[in-house]
Structure 1
């Protein structure tokens, strides 16, 4: 997969997980996504969520805890 496909898959997975546990999820599409990728709401509370995906499971804050992460 290329980086665009990884990003789309990561957003879809995160949105599905939030929806599965009862949140309402709004997804921003397009090139101009300010601040966040998802808006997650429940009752009168909301959370702006930025999604980062990778094919190898690596992420700046977790790489030191994973084997073979790049």
Structure 2
């Protein structure tokens, strides 16, 4: 199982720090999933768009939960 280490909140430049940390930890995992899907015959574009849709759905659900 992959271990993630989000041990502290982002610093003063929160948006840049958060983006860099998410990319550092999540990009290898996402690349691995996409490569496995492509090897199984899936469209790389469709898989990547699926990630975008999933992330957006999670974002929207979080917004709904806050209201």
Q: TM-score, normalised by structure 2?
A: 0.37
Q: Normalized per residue, which structure has more strand?
A: 1
Q: TM-score, normalised by structure 1?
A: 0.36
Query: Which structure would you say has the larger RCO, counting Cα contacts within 8 Å and 6 or more residues apart?
Result: 1
Q: Tell which structure's C-alpha radius of gyration is larger.
A: 2
Q: Normalized per residue, which structure has more helix?
A: 2
